Structure 1
Amino acid sequence: MKESRSHTTFNSFKNKVHLKSIKIRLLFFTGLLLLLSLLSISYLSYYFASNTVRDGIDEEVKASATVITQTLDTHLQSKLSVVKTLAKMAEGNFGNTEKQLDFIKKAQQQNPELTGIVFSHELSGGNSMNQNGEILDLSTRAYIKELNNGKSIISDPVASKVDNSLSVILGAPILNNQKVAGNFTASVAIADVTKTVSTAEFGKTGYATLLDSAGNVIYHREKERIMKTTVKDFNSPELTEAFNKAIKGEQGTFTYSFSGIDKFGYYARTSNNWVLILSAPLAELDAPVNNMASRMGLITIVIVFIGLVLTYILANRLTRPLVRLKQSIELVEAGDLNHVLIVRGGDEIAQAAVSFNRMTQTIKTILTEVSLSSNQLASSSEQLTAGAEQTSKVTEHIANAIQVVAEGAGRQVDSVTSGAYTAEDMSNKVRLIVDNTKQMSEATGVVTVKAKEGGLAVEHAVSQMGVIQNMVDELAMVIKTLGQRSDEIGNIVEIISGIAQQTNLLSLNASIEAARAGEAGKGFAVVASEIRKLADQTAYSAEQIAALVLSVQADTGHAAATMNTAVEEVESGRQAVNRNGDLFKEIQHGITGLGDLVGHVSGYAEQISEGAERIVTAIQTISEVAETNAGETQNVSASAEEQLASMQEVTSSAAALSNMAEDLRSMVDKFKI
């Protein structure tokens, strides 16, 4: 996002200064390059010079601070040595106040820088005496405790008990029998102590500040601050931090602001835990570097101006042939390809002019060939248009024909589908016929069995009729031989005749029943039942005959006549039963033939059913193929329509190509070849 904004800003600036001319661009970028280069050099020079100056200042201020602190320490230590010597000498006068007083007066005369010499022959310091013989109470002084511990002291500045002036107390213990028994102190005026600090210089206006271990101002250029303000009263956290570091034994540089002026400072500690601060305004210390930066800026402006003048001269020499090349290009732009650019020199611009002449000649040759090709292209496009139109007509005819075929295929699919449904229905009905035929075949088999059973029953009846006839014959002979019982036998014969008549009627009924219905078994069952009943009656009558034999002899004659009639009737019944047996045989043969015929019909029906199923399968296959053909016909129809559309596009493209060829020929005609 930032790159986009900077690029936009640069483009807007370029539009404002109209950087369209190579000369202006060359001047602009050369000046910009010179300016950036010189500014970079100036900045680096300023940076390194500033560091060098700062390093020099650091070394200088460090050396100055070292000299001042060492001078302070030496001065105070020398005074402390004097105090120690005097304390040692005062030990000889311990306990004698007058001698001690004379001694300190002489010591002050010999060491006038020592003021306020005080001695005490007791540890509390409450009865101390000065050189004037005045008793002073120094028991509240903090340094008394250190003196009682046998240590020499250099105190922080305190107000004198005598004249209230600021002094530094130097003290040493007084020994008696190798034990601390008192103390000896002397005052040194603060002005004498800070003489070295007050004369210290740092730069032109820099100065030194001296602070005691509690941060009280011992010396400052502003006299009103001495022992009245502390380091915190300067309201500078940097200064307070520097003081705290110095108390810890560190030393170094720092910057801070005081009275609205930015300052550079150096802090160091003395041996008695005083802090020395050397400071000077930053502007004063940086003045040499700033002056150098001003001179570098002036030099940069001069060099950039000279560079722009030289660049302008060079740009004129470079752009003159470019102007001629531009004019030639404008002629080519106007369509004049006969112009030849005059080449002078052998530099890159001259080589570009040679390449331009070659390019012009090449364009001229190309345009000549393009003119010829455009004519041929126009002719070919017209032929292509005519062929495309003819192809479009043929394609349209094919599409219409395929559409008709597609519609016929659709109808064919519908017909085949309907035929498939019909064939399937026919197959179902053929299956039903096969099932019914199988059932009829099974029923015919049952009828055949029953017909065989009926034939056997008729044969048995014929056999029984023969037996009856024999019995009747025998009975007639018996009647003849038993003429005496002919009457009774006649009655019995009548009964037997009645039975025969009933049997005849039942046989006729059985024949009629067998002829009427196919279920002959039921009729024959009824006949058999009646025959059994008649047999029972015959048995019963036989018993009567046995019982009445004796009583029927009188009727034998009549029975003989009746028996003759019975013989005739029995013969007639036997013949009727024989005819029924023949009829049952014919029925049996007919039913057997019908069963075979039904079996053949059932086989043919099964074959027809299988054929119908194959027909249904074939019709379904034909239906699927017809549907596929219909779908493919639709696809072919769609492809034909797409081809028709493509040919129409080809026709349109050919027309457009013809127009483009005409336009190309018009454009080529604009050039002078």
Structure 2
Amino acid sequence: MALSLPGTKSLRGRLTLYATLLSVVPLLTLTWLQARSARQVMEEQIHASLLSEAEGVKDLLESTLAEREASARGWAEDPAVRAALRGDVSPADAMLGVLQSRYLTLNGIVVFDDTGRAISANTPALRDEYLRRQDEVRRSPWFAEAQQGRTSSEGITEEHPIFTGHVLSLAFPVLDPVSKHRLGVLLAAFDWAHVDQLVQPALARAHQRALKSFAITLQRPDGTPLYDSRGANAQGNDALLAVTAVNGTDVRDVADGWHFVARVDPAEAYAPVVRVNRVALLMALGFIVLAVGGAWLLSHRISGPVLALRAAVTRLVSEGDLTQTLDVKAGNDEVGELAGAFGLLVFQLRETAQSLHTGTRVLSETVAELQTASTQQERNVARQAAALQQTQVTAQEIKQTSMLASEKAEDVLNRASVAEEVGRAGEGAIRDSLGGFSEILSQAEQMTERIAQLNERTQQIGGITQTVKDLADQSNMLALNAAIESVRSGEHGKGFGVVAREIRSLADQSIQATDRVREILGDLSSAILSTAKMTEQSYTHMESGLEQVRGTGERLKELAAIIQDNATAVRQIAGAVSQQNAGIAQIFSAVTDLSSMMNDTQESLAATTRAAKLLQDVSEQMQDVARAYRI
């Protein structure tokens, strides 16, 4: 799981952290590299300085010892020294005294014979002292080495029993110049304390550089200490920084292979580096403090407008107030451009909310008008449906009456045929015909009444047809108004416009059907009137014929002709009644179709009502969204 530092979850904290890291990490890395480089340089300088001091002391001591060795070797070849070994001591003593006074680095010069007995010295006391130590001299390493023609550094680390302090015994063989036979040994005691004088300049230079622990140590190749500038009891050499200069064999002398070690305490040696590192660390800490402060100021300058913008957005989201102005102080950088862009966004959102308010208000008004029109149309269509249902019932009654009239007309036609046959039968059937004529007269009266009733029914159907036409005209007008409203509603009124066109089409069909019914009813009325007139004429003729039959039998032929004419009229009546029955059947069919179309119209109006309800719900939702912001 990733760890997060306190305060880094905010933009200001992250900016401060990142800016601090970007400035501190390179600084610390540079400081570390600089300290490491400075320490390496200081190590190289210290190593070079220590090596230089060790080499300097080595060169001084080597040159001094080489000079003393050369001098002592020359003294061993001096005739006075050979003469002293042959018995003439006085010249050698004088010469050795003079040499001692001239070379202050020597504690004494002594000439021994090959047995270790002191023959001559720079002072008589020194010669007498060595005379008492003949056996010790003969066992000394330097004496044995000198007899072999070599020099030795043995005895430096011990206090010399004759000379005060430590000495380096520089011993050389004294040879016969002719036979090269060894006559004795010349000893030049080099004062080892003179090494302090050689080391002092190096110590002084080290002290000037504040290296109080600087020391020069001289060792044999096996590690045996020969000299230590700190004294004989110096300890703790392992903790010191040491650089060794080895005396080579370029110049053959007693110091060949010696190690000149320059030592110094690392704390003192690297004190400048520590001080520089401390100053660099303090400067780095100061810069870190400045970097943190600068990073905080930078993050505050960057995050300030962002936080103000966030507060404005939070207030806008929580309160939904678009009337407020976005006052965010920012520069001309990307944050300023962001604040300007968000201000433009708030302005456009305010304009959008205003447009949404206006659109929802218009939509609500349109939906209200659409619902009012739909309600009114439902009421009108309901009234039209009721009237149409009544018309359908009336048409059914007319159909039944027409069928009854047709049956009666057929019956009258049959009776007229029988009357015609009876008239032709002769006068013998007059009395019987009187009864038939009476019945015919009675039926004619009934037919006249039926025709009158049929005429009244026809007029009633004409009135109903007029009513249906008026309703159709009203439906057409309502459909026209609905089409106008659908155009005003725009995209939301397309579905209602389709319904309005269907209603208008149904209204046009209703008008055409009523016109057709009126035409049929007109024809039917004309036929009924014609039949009524003919019935009245037949009734008159039948009454006259009856009077004539009653009055005289001579007019039988006229009566037969009248009966024949009556039969013809009855046939015409039957034909007219048949036509009337067919017309009434067409009217009933048209009314039935109109009823079906009215049902479709009611269903379309129901769909329109549901669409208006859906539009109302959408309008309420849009109003809720629009009311979420104050503008």
Which TM class, normalised by the smaller chain length? 0.3 to 0.5
TM-score (norm 1): 0.44
Question: Which structure: larger Rg?
Answer: 1
